[in-house]
Amino acid sequence: MATVKERKYRKAVQTLLSQYATFGAGMGDIERQLIFDTQHDHYQMVNVGWQDQQRIYGCAMHLDIKDGKIWIQHNGTEIELDDELTALGVPKNDIVVGFISPARRHLTEFATN
């Protein structure tokens, strides 16, 4: 059974990714796919399709929930996901910017692990 905090963080992550999945719609034949693994708490937004004659495929955003914190594993956008999460009510000490080296995370205003 999920705790209140886990449910809140799942909703925040899903809301955030769902919101940004609608941006850029109609660019060529590119589909934004949302991948929500709520059993293991892995969440991604992936771009799939074609633009002109070029294949487009890649993870734009990847977030996990681990040990009661939201981990931003990848952010291939200019969107400040950490700030967006705090605006959704997630405290900074429960956000880990996982793509920053563990040795440098203390330089951020967010959690280190």
pLDDT of residue 49: 92
Q: How far apart, in whole angstroms, are the C-alpha atoms of residue 85 and residue 102? A: 20
> What tokens appear for 27 in the block?
């660019």
Q: Is 101 exposed, middle or buried (0-12, 13-18, 19+ CB in 10 A)?
A: exposed
Q: How far apart, in whole angstroms, are the C-alpha atoms of residue 97 and residue 89? A: 17
Averaged pLDDT, 62-71: 97
Q: What is the pLDDT of residues 11-66, one digit of tens each?
A: 999 999 999 998 765 566 889 999 999 999 999 999 999 988 899 999 999 999 99
Which domains does the chain carry? Answer: 4-107 (3.30.310.110)
Beta carbons of 49 and 56 less than 8 angstroms apart: yes
Q: What is the pLDDT of residues 72-96, one digit of tens each?
A: 999 999 999 999 999 999 999 999 9
Q: Give one DSSP letter per residue of the chain, joined into a string.
A: ---HHHHHHHHHHHHHHHHHHTTTTTSTEEEEEEEEETTTTEEEEEEEEEETTEEEEEEEEEEEEETTEEEEEEE-SSS-HHHHHHHTT--GGGEEETTS-TTTGGGSSSB--
Q: What is the pLDDT of residues 90-108, one digit of tens each?
A: 999 999 999 999 999 999 9
Beta carbons of 41 and 28 less than 8 angstroms apart: no
